[in-house]
Amino acid sequence: MSYFDRTSAAGMPEGFLWGGALAANQAEGGWNEGGRGMSHSDLIPQGSDRWDVMFGRQKPVDDPDRLYPCRWGNDFFHHWHEDVELFAEMGFKCLRLSICWSRIFPTGMETEPNGEGLEFYRQVFEALREHGIEPLVTLSHYDYPLALVERYGGWQSREMIERYAHYVETVGRAYQGLVRYWLTFNEINSVALSYLNAGVTLEDERDRAAVTAAFSHHMFMASARAVEILHKIDSANKVGCMVAAGATYPYRCAPEDVWLAYEEDRGRYFYTDVMAAGAYPAWKLRALEKEGVHVPFEPGDTEYLAEHTVDFISFSYYCSRLVCADDQVIAEKAEGNVFPTLRNPYLKDKETAWKWQIDALGLRVTLAGYHDRYHLPLFIAENGVGGLDALEDGKVHDAYHIDYLRRHILALRDAIVEDGVDLMGYTPWGCIDLVSASTGQMKKRYGFVYVDADDMGKGTFDRYRKDSFCWYQKVIASNGEDLS
């Protein structure tokens, strides 16, 4: 029997947090309701320039003739009651969701929070708890109050740390006892490519290195600040970081390729080295010095980062990556999550509707990598495959989705049982269909639950259980023993 033909992941630990993940910017909608302020993600348009805006190469503008899918998402804002019921029916032990900062502080500058916003999340968290579902809350998932972004140029400014700290303190106090697991920034390493994830638009690429170093440093300091604040509020709080992960493979066994793959992974580990191990690694400091890039360290920053490291590491995993040191070698590029990669010929037959490759064993490699390096608890905060689903007679047959998840659950089971990885939980991405971050489409679907809405935001927004819904319910009920 081959590795992925198994139909049982027996041996999963008791209390494992099975669940699903979503984020305010892609699910919530209700962008101009409940006293919410405008968020910078409300200005990421559909269309050919979407990537230019997202990558921070073009300034986002509010154009009445354009469509901005984050403004409607899957309308969780109006459907959360039934969504929580559906998650409970599947047996979720955990739901990863994010708080929209501008729902709490509409411009980010207020001293007093928006009561309606606080109340909204309170009700959601309470409903989750009533069903025994542990909320895992991302404090910042690709959205900042637009006013802050405009005022400070995003995380380029150190002022952002104070605004973020005030927000974290507010929600930390408001939800004390309701929320125990927190993530500071979604996919923090994505800022290396997508400056807008740091609230930055950089029309002049010449400043790239210095600006990147500055906003990354400020985000690290803010993340450490969140750790300090949340620990002070409640010593039971567990605070994690979140990175876009995926081990890098060398295209050939040429030492140059092996070294390049090592360098790529080291670049990914840089973020967890700072947030989990508490220091900038030597290679990074030397590289910055060589480039003549100044990191805006202030007195005490080094000690502060060392003191307030995270309790656990969470990451998204969609696929491994592949690199080659020689441009002359014929290697195709592949589509993938955030970071570019070459197309891996060994994964060739497993490509999906959006051409993201599938490598379940790569999840085990990735888990082992983090475990061996940091010896901290880990959390798979995102994983999944976006596909085209058809609703027919109220049913959706998404066998490809089940197959993807089954393979990845086998891999994570082996990481736990065979490799001794301390894995807290697994929250597949987009557990209910939502708007895609990269394409802005609704038709790129990850969910166990189908949402009747199209790319234009039209539809009934009614919810339907897919085949994968019943399958995952069985997986959770058997604690992974039954993957059939």
Judged by CB under 6 A, the chain residues 131 through 150 that form the site for ligand BGP are none
Identify which of residues 58 and 441 has a Cβ nearer to ligand BGP in the complex.
441
478 contact partners, CB below 8 Å, separation of at least 6: none
Residue 433 as a binder of ligand BGP (CB under 6 A): the answer is: no
User: What would the x/- binding string for ligand BGP be over residues 217 to 256, using CB under 6 A?
Assistant: ---------------------------x------------
Residue 352 as a binder of ligand BGP (CB under 6 A): the answer is: no
Check: CB of residue 85 under 8 Å from CB of residue 58. Answer: no
From 107, 438, 473, 478, residue interacting with ligand BGP (rule: CB under 6 A)? 438
Residue 437 as a binder of ligand BGP (CB under 6 A): the answer is: yes
Check: CB of residue 325 under 8 Å from CB of residue 256. Answer: yes
Q: What stretch of H or E contains 404?
A: helix 399-417
Residue 321 as a binder of ligand BGP (CB under 6 A): the answer is: no
Phi, psi of 406 (to 5 degrees): -60, -45
Residue 316 as a binder of ligand BGP (CB under 6 A): the answer is: yes
Least spacing, CB of residue 339 vs ligand BGP, in Å: 10
Residue 273 as a binder of ligand BGP (CB under 6 A): the answer is: no
Least spacing, CB of residue 332 vs ligand BGP, in Å: 20
Identify which of residues 280 and 317 has a Cβ nearer to ligand BGP in the complex.
317
Only one of the segments 221-229, 267-275, 327-335, 437-445 lies at the binding site for ligand BGP (rule: CB under 6 A); that segment is 437-445
The dihedral of CA 47, 356, 245, 291: what is its sign? negative
Residue 157 as a binder of ligand BGP (CB under 6 A): the answer is: no
Residue 382 as a binder of ligand BGP (CB under 6 A): the answer is: yes
CB count in 10 Å sphere of residue 47: 11
Q: What stretch of H or E contains 95?
A: strand 94-98
Residue 436 as a binder of ligand BGP (CB under 6 A): the answer is: yes
Residue 429 as a binder of ligand BGP (CB under 6 A): the answer is: yes
Rounded Cα distance, 116 and 190, in Å: 31
Check: CB of residue 313 under 8 Å from CB of residue 376. Answer: yes
Identify which of residues 248 and 436 has a Cβ nearer to ligand BGP in the complex.
436
Longest dimension (CA), the chain: 64
From 73, 106, 386, 457, residue interacting with ligand BGP (rule: CB under 6 A)? 386
- Nearest Cα residue to 70 out of 30, 37, 34, 36: 30
- Nearest Cα residue to 276 out of 316, 230, 220, 318: 220
Tell me the catalytic residues. Answer: 187, 382
Residue 364 as a binder of ligand BGP (CB under 6 A): the answer is: no
Check: CB of residue 412 under 8 Å from CB of residue 423. Answer: yes
Residue 40 as a binder of ligand BGP (CB under 6 A): the answer is: no
Least spacing, CB of residue 50 vs ligand BGP, in Å: 11
Residue 23 as a binder of ligand BGP (CB under 6 A): the answer is: yes
Please report which residue ranges of 20-109 form alpha helices under DSSP H.
Answer: 24-27, 50-54, 76-90, 101-104
Judged by CB under 6 A, the chain residues 182 through 211 that form the site for ligand BGP are 186-187
Identify which of residues 170 and 320 has a Cβ nearer to ligand BGP in the complex.
320
Rounded Cα distance, 365 and 360, in Å: 9
